[in-house]
Structure 1
Amino acid sequence: MIFSLLLLVLIGAAALWLVLEPLRRAAPEDPDAPERARLTAERNRLYAELNTLEDESRRPGLERRAALTLRALDGLPPASTAKNPSRSRTLALTGVGAAALLTVAGALTFIPRWQLASLDVGEASKVQAVLKLPGLKQTAQRSEKNADYLAWGRAAFDSANYDQAVSAYGNALKTDPRQPEALRRLGILLLTRGEQIGQAISAEDAERAGLLIRTAAQLAPEEPESQLLLGFALSRFGQDQEALAALERYRTLDPAGRDADDVITSLRARLNQSDPALKLYAASCASCHGAAGGGGIGPSLRESILSRAALRSITVNGKGAMPAYPNLTDAELKLLLDLMEQWQQEG
């Protein structure tokens, strides 16, 4: 927010300087006038189209074009003015008004989107969810409709505003107690509340949270998030076998999902389900390459494109910061190489 305000002040100051400069001195005819006129016309056309837009799917593209047009305008040298001081004064005052309107419009539309363009997808989604929260909250509290409570809860949950998420999902369940999303997300928030406030959760609250998550999984067993949160909850309750089954079910429902990889690896290591490769990896490799091969101090093994021969050579002889493991038996080395090749295929 502070950055946005500073940016608006700078834009306003720059705009005022540019439009009031003609009052200070006269200058020769503007050599960039044709290009400036073309860009200005394009900018005005895009603004008009955005103001009357009905197909929201076209908005990002139009806003990107408008942003590029404004940048091109900003890149031109300041426009020279005619030698008529009264005309210069009129143009300057008109420019001041236009600059003020554009600054306000930018604060509400374009400037936040320019800032989002510098973020990755996850960060941008979180910022957008935060920006939507006040309006969604107001709508839900005014309408008291289930769909509005869910929309508010979803935005709060996605932006990590968990107090609002608890309130929104709690109200949604009052209108309809059989909503899997509200049940499981409210349950996982109750279960992890202790971590947020630095206090241990009571056995009664933990049992209540577990019941909510289990109920959601029963109502919507084919939704990946149901199995994901069920697996997390069961692992907290020490039910490793059931937790592993739920998390593997999650990966079946969402093959691209990687949220459970570390927990699955830990569960398999604890259960020692006839998987000596994971046990060997956890003892020798996980501290650098991550519990599930996703990378850490060392590179990701899942994104590796090395051949089996290259993997073998680096494992046995070391390379750079990677230590050598010359004492691995042939059987142990085969287990590790098979595991790394499996992760390469999974990506």
Structure 2
Amino acid sequence: MILSVILLAVIGAAALWLVLDPLRRAAPEDPDAPERDRLIAERDQLYAALTHLEDEARRPDLERRAALTLRALDALPPAARGGSPRRSRTLALAGVGVAALLTVAGALTFVPRWQLASLEPAEAGKVQAVLKLPSLKAAAQRSGANADYLAWGRAAFDSATYDQAVTAYGNALKLDPRQPEALRRLGILLLTRGEQTGQPLAAEDAQRAALLIRSAAQLAPNEPESQLLLGFALSRFGEDQAALSALERYRTLDPTGRDADDVITALRARLNQNDPALKLYAGSCASCHGTAGGGGLGPSLRASTLSRAALQGVIVNGQGAMPAYPDLKPGDLNLLLDLLEKWQREE
């Protein structure tokens, strides 16, 4: 931030020196003056439009036009030195205004981009979402369109401005109650409201939150966030096995996602301590078939249609890339077979 302020001060000082320089000199008639004045006026209009921009979709076009205008100005021959003091004063005052606009435009557009470059991607995304909030909110309130409410809600949620997210997503659901993103995000905000306010969550609010999140997962089961938030919600209600299944599916849908790592670790620890079959499975099978049997390097055991006898044969004798486990004790083998059959029935 300090570096940006210093840089702006240097730019402003240099601009002021350059535009006030005509006060000390006179200039003969400039044959390119009409075209120069036209380009300067166009440049000023573009800078003003960038400074007060409400629709971010227009920014690339305005910046492109501003760049073309500056390039055309640079292509003109330098204005001759000297001339009438009155004209010089006029040019100087105009230049001061341009310098001010340039400084403000830099502060509102270029400087934040320099600052964002030094942030982590997640932090940069959050800052960008905060900067977009006012224009997105205004657009949604002006149009009342579902897409605009979703865009506003998404930026508010991503920037942790949760009160605005609730308002935006709530309005979106009034227009269409079957929107997975709005359902699951409102659900998780309701479920975690106690952490934000320091007040305990009422039972009816917890049930309402669970319904919203489950509905979103049913509407969009293949969206990673649906399974992620479903897993978080289920873990809060003590449904550890179902939570682990949802989070494992999230990891399958988004292999680069790391948001659930800590919860998955905690769930595995709890389940393995309480269930000897899961503990045995975790030590011998989970590395290939996933901690909840949903598949990984190996196929999904939950989707398997093999009989108990066939499953036993694969475990004891191996098959394809699957290694054999001929030394399993009969009791351990039965525990594994019971677990695999239970998973088959759940699907």
Per the shorter chain, which TM-score range?
A: 0.5 to 0.7
Matched, 1:213 2:197: no
What per-residue deviation string (whole Å, max 9, x for no partner) do you get for residues 87-137 of structure 1?
865664443233123223324433333332332322222111111111211
Matched, 1:242 2:242: yes
CA distance in 2, matches of 1:3, 1:196: 34
Q: For residues 188-203 of structure 1, what are the structure 2 equivalents within 5 Å?
A: 188-203=188-203
Higher relative contact order (CA 8 A, sep 6+): 2
Change (3 A) 1:4 1:142: farther
In the alignment, what sits opposite 2:232?
Answer: 232
Change (3 A) 1:4 1:252: same
Aligned residue type for 1:165: A
What per-residue deviation string (whole Å, max 9, x for no partner) do you get for residues 229-280 of structure 1?
0000000111100000000011111111111111111100111132359xxx
Task: Compute the displacement of 1:192 (Å).
Answer: 0.5
Question: The residue matched to 2:119 in structure 1 has which SS?
Answer: coil
Aligned residue type for 2:226: S
Q: For residues 1-347 of structure 1, what are the structure 2 equivalents within 5 Å?
A: 11-20=11-20, 23=23, 59=60, 86=85, 92-272=92-272, 273-274=278-279, 275=282
In the alignment of these two chains, the number of paired residues is 247
Change (3 A) 1:144 1:59: closer
Change (3 A) 1:107 1:217: same
CA contact (8 A) 1:19 1:92 kept: yes
Task: Compute the displacement of 1:171 (Å).
Answer: 1.2
CA distance in 2, matches of 1:89, 1:145: 50
CA distance in 2, matches of 1:149, 1:262: 32
Question: The residue matched to 2:241 in structure 1 has which SS?
Answer: helix
Aligned residue type for 2:193: R
CA distance in 2, matches of 1:183, 1:214: 9
Change (3 A) 1:7 1:270: same
Aligned residue type for 1:184: R
Over alpha carbons, which structure has the higher Rg?
2
In the alignment, what sits opposite 1:328?
Answer: none
In the alignment, what sits opposite 1:321?
Answer: none
Change (3 A) 1:176 1:12: same
Question: The residue matched to 1:141 in structure 2 has which SS?
Answer: helix
Question: The residue matched to 1:109 in structure 2 has which SS?
Answer: helix
Provide the TM-score with structure 2 as the length reference: 0.59
Aligned residue type for 2:145: K
CA distance in 2, matches of 1:19, 1:180: 56
CA distance in 1, matches of 2:125, 2:256: 19
Aligned residue type for 1:237: F
Larger mean Cα displacement after TM superposition, 202-211 or 97-106? 97-106
Change (3 A) 1:84 1:145: closer
Aligned residue type for 2:264: I
Aligned residue type for 1:176: D
CA distance in 1, matches of 2:90, 2:146: 55
CA contact (8 A) 2:25 2:83 kept: no
What per-residue deviation string (whole Å, max 9, x for no partner) do you get for residues 212-235 of structure 1?
001111111111110000000000
CA contact (8 A) 1:130 1:159 kept: yes
CA contact (8 A) 2:213 2:229 kept: yes
Question: The residue matched to 1:110 in structure 2 has which SS?
Answer: helix
Task: Compute the displacement of 1:145 (Å).
Answer: 1.9
Change (3 A) 1:114 1:125: same
Larger mean Cα displacement after TM superposition, 189-198 or 144-153? 144-153
CA contact (8 A) 1:23 1:85 kept: no
Percent of aligned pairs with the same residue? 74
CA distance in 2, matches of 1:58, 1:145: 22
Aligned residue type for 1:260: A
Question: The residue matched to 1:160 in structure 2 has which SS?
Answer: coil
Aligned residue type for 2:229: L
Aligned residue type for 2:163: D
CA contact (8 A) 1:82 1:88 kept: no
Question: The residue matched to 1:222 in structure 2 has which SS?
Answer: coil
In the alignment, what sits opposite 2:331?
Answer: none
Question: The residue matched to 2:259 in structure 1 has which SS?
Answer: coil
Aligned residue type for 2:127: V
Task: Compute the displacement of 1:23 (Å).
Answer: 4.8
CA contact (8 A) 1:136 1:151 kept: yes
CA RMSD of superposed structures (Å) = 4.0
Flag structure 1 segments of 5+ consecutive residues without an equivalent.
27-40, 74-78, 278-347
CA distance in 1, matches of 2:112, 2:236: 40
CA distance in 1, matches of 2:156, 2:2: 22
CA contact (8 A) 1:190 1:205 kept: yes
Aligned residue type for 2:161: N
